[in-house]
Amino acid sequence: MNGYVNTLKEVTINHEVPPIHRTGNLVNQEVKTKSIVMPLKFQMKSFFERNNLLQPTLDYMKSFQNNDKLTNFVQEELWKEKNQLYPNKIVLPYFLYIDDFEINNPLGSHSTKHSICNIYYSFLALSIEEIETENDKNVIFSVHFILGLVIGDNLGLNSFLNFNKSFSSHFFCRFCRASKEDTHKLSSEKNELIRTTANYEIDALNANFGVAKNSQLNSIPSFHVVNNYYADVMHNLFEGICHYIFCHIIDYFISMKYFDLDTLNDRKQNFEYGPTEIDNISFKIEPHHLKKWKLKMSAREMMTFTLYFPIMIGDLVPLDDPVWNFLLNVIEIVDMLLCFEFDILNISILEKKIEKHNNDYITLFNDTLKPKYHNLTHYPKLIRKSGPLRKFWCFKYEAKHRQFKIYSRIITSRKNICLTLTKKYELKFAHQLIIGTNFLKLHFNPNIKHKTLSNYKNIISKILHNTEISIEFYSQVQHNGIEYKKDNYLVVYNNDVLFYKMLEIVVVEEKTLLFFWFTFTDCTRSNSPTSYLFNKDCKRKTLTAPKGILQDDLASSTYYLHKNRVILNQNVNFTNYIMQII
């Protein structure tokens, strides 16, 4: 395994001599709590060397230089400030995620005995087109990996960055110095209260204004805790704000006799969620959930409920109801925060909507703003500094806990469990280096069990100018990590909203993926911001490559079929290939 594993480092973080029971006697015994540090320098170097990812990563970062839309961390103000510290050097950002998880049965008698804090690191996600580029061999690069952001939930970040751990404290915000009383009514960010490195040094000396002590992370040249412009959408929205909002809204609608709880539950359980959201249906809403301001939903279930709730009950509520309009503003805020890209105008719009939302919440429900509401006021600035927050949310990081929980179930010993789990993960990392990563080889991975027949084969063969070409059809396929299924709908925003229904998934010559769609041309927005009405009779068939359907210049890449004749160059470039049948 030489070259694939490196030395692990054990660090004692707590040393006690407590009384414990041994063979029926109470004795004093030394107990050490240890952490395990994996060789980051070795892992990062091995990952980029053996997978030939350095040059594709640099090219990918460079591709955002002339992009007006804010879609990636390397475009934002924070990265530009960090990058200036290393002029004329190769610099790559990495991100740290910190979170605790329980390895024992959470309902058992030992549920809190072995809680483990894991710190993961990650890099920028690459597009498949960039990954295809190969590095020059036998070329030595000097690369500087610098910390971009520290990611986690609110409690984890406040603890790790040495801010106040209690959100009931007088100063709990890690972004500003607003007092608890001020945050109850602040509807927007106040620049005069923002934390800076200057006022942080003063607060750290006095352990005041929410700073517990000076963080060790500040010794990193490119990082300071007050410049960690990040908040988690998953915990703030779907495990926090949305619970307060919907408890108030549902209680209000019931009091206005628009519907009762049984009607809501009946509609919620029998709603047509579609194949992509069918696994995210939440449990029945009970009266005691509303009283406790906490619905029995996971973050992912709350996300689904939030987006579909206006459609479930929209026909029962008057359009001029103030709480209904408050709800529509909430949905628009959530919809914007789930975007993968922003422009300056959209960030300003989001800022106004958040301010209106907070003011309306106080007025309509006679309630104060909770700490997670206060975090919402900082979101526009965080997006300007770090990019779309969805790309850093905790959903994908918390999924990494699963493999450690699986390891722990087959390990009977809990003695130095951190070392045991780390060694298992070290072997997995070595295995990945040996076999290489699969995403370098395939854009898509069709499964033979999903192969189907099609009534459109002759039409598609004529469009491709070759009736002898090998064409196969599939009911579903995974492309670039996204699963596409037959009869699914795709929505594309390009100046206007375009709806596509998947008719066929086509694989040409076993290597080229194409989609055959219905494109709906007559769409209008309904009363809900999450729903549209479209005329099923106004449609045309479209054959396209995956990139073509999603690219910004969709209209300029369109080809039309007139009278069974295609106006298209014979040397078809499938990457940008789009064709429409009128």
Q: For position 38, what pLDDT does the model report?
A: 87
Token pair 């709350």: residue: 302
Token pair 């190769």: residue: 90
Residue 300 near residue 280, CB atoms below 8 Å = yes
Tens of each residue's pLDDT in the chain, 582 residues: 567 788 888 888 777 878 877 777 888 877 777 888 888 888 888 888 877 788 888 888 888 888 888 889 999 899 999 999 999 899 999 999 998 888 877 666 666 667 888 899 998 876 554 444 444 556 778 888 999 999 999 999 999 999 998 888 899 999 999 999 999 999 999 999 999 999 999 999 888 899 999 999 999 989 999 999 999 999 999 999 999 999 999 999 999 999 999 999 999 999 988 877 888 999 999 999 999 999 999 999 999 999 899 989 988 999 899 999 999 999 999 999 998 889 899 999 999 999 999 999 999 999 999 999 999 999 999 999 999 999 999 998 888 888 888 888 888 878 888 888 888 888 888 888 887 654 444 456 778 888 998 888 888 887 877 667 788 899 988 877 678 888 888 777 666 677 888 888 988 887 788 888 888 877 777 666 556 777 777 778 888 877 655 443 332 222 222 222 222 222 333 333 333 433
Contacts of 300 (CB under 8 A, 6+ apart): 238, 280, 395
116-123 CB contacts, 8 Å cutoff, 24+ apart: 116/404, 116/417, 116/418, 116/421, 118/400, 118/401, 118/404, 120/96, 120/397, 120/400, 121/40, 121/94, 121/95, 121/96, 121/97, 122/94, 122/95, 122/97, 122/397, 123/57, 123/92, 123/93, 123/94, 123/95
Q: Residue 303 carries which side chain, given as an amino acid letter?
A: M
Q: For position 577, what pLDDT does the model report?
A: 37
Residue 236 near residue 245, CB atoms below 8 Å = no
C-alpha to C-alpha distance for 340 and 388, rounded to whole angstroms? 6
Token pair 């909507």: residue: 353
Residue 542 near residue 514, CB atoms below 8 Å = no
**210: closest CA among 149, 157, 151?**
157
Q: Residue 398 carries which side chain, given as an amino acid letter?
A: E
- Between the two ends of the chain, the Cα-to-Cα distance in Å is 60
Crossing angle for the helix pair 322-337 and 242-255, nearest 10 degrees? 160
C-alpha to C-alpha distance for 397 and 118, rounded to whole angstroms? 10
Contacts of 150 (CB under 8 A, 6+ apart): 95, 96, 97, 98, 157, 160, 161, 217, 225, 228, 230
Neighbours of 36 (CB within 10 A): 17
Tokens of 65: 């230089």
Judged by DSSP in three states, 76 sits in coil
Contacts of 478 (CB under 8 A, 6+ apart): 444, 445, 484
Q: For position 564, what pLDDT does the model report?
A: 28
C-alpha to C-alpha distance for 268 and 264, rounded to whole angstroms? 6
Helix residue spans in 314-411 (DSSP H): 322-337, 344-365, 371-377, 379-386, 395-398, 401-409
CB hemisphere CA count around 449 (13 angstroms): 0
Crossing angle for the helix pair 344-365 and 242-255, nearest 10 degrees? 50
CA 270 vs. chain centroid, Å, equals 28
Q: Which domains does the chain have, with CATH numbers?
A: 47-150+400-435 (no CATH), 152-176+191-227 (no CATH), 233-392 (no CATH), 448-581 (2.30.30)
519-524 CB contacts, 8 Å cutoff, 24+ apart: 519/580, 523/496, 523/497, 523/498, 523/499
**141: closest CA among 65, 66, 90?**
90
Contacts of 160 (CB under 8 A, 6+ apart): 98, 150, 152
76 to 70, 71, 211, 341, 388: CA distances (angstroms): 7, 9, 27, 12, 10
Tokens of 50: 């053996």
pTM value > 0.95? no
Residue 555 near residue 520, CB atoms below 8 Å = no
C-alpha to C-alpha distance for 457 and 503, rounded to whole angstroms? 12
C-alpha to C-alpha distance for 265 and 270, rounded to whole angstroms? 8
Q: For position 551, what pLDDT does the model report?
A: 41
Q: Check the CA dihedral 311-317-321-323 and report its sign.
A: negative
Q: For position 558, what pLDDT does the model report?
A: 28
Judged by DSSP in three states, 242 sits in helix
C-alpha to C-alpha distance for 121 and 38, rounded to whole angstroms? 11
Contacts of 74 (CB under 8 A, 6+ apart): 61, 64, 93, 124
Beta-bridge partner residues of 534:
523
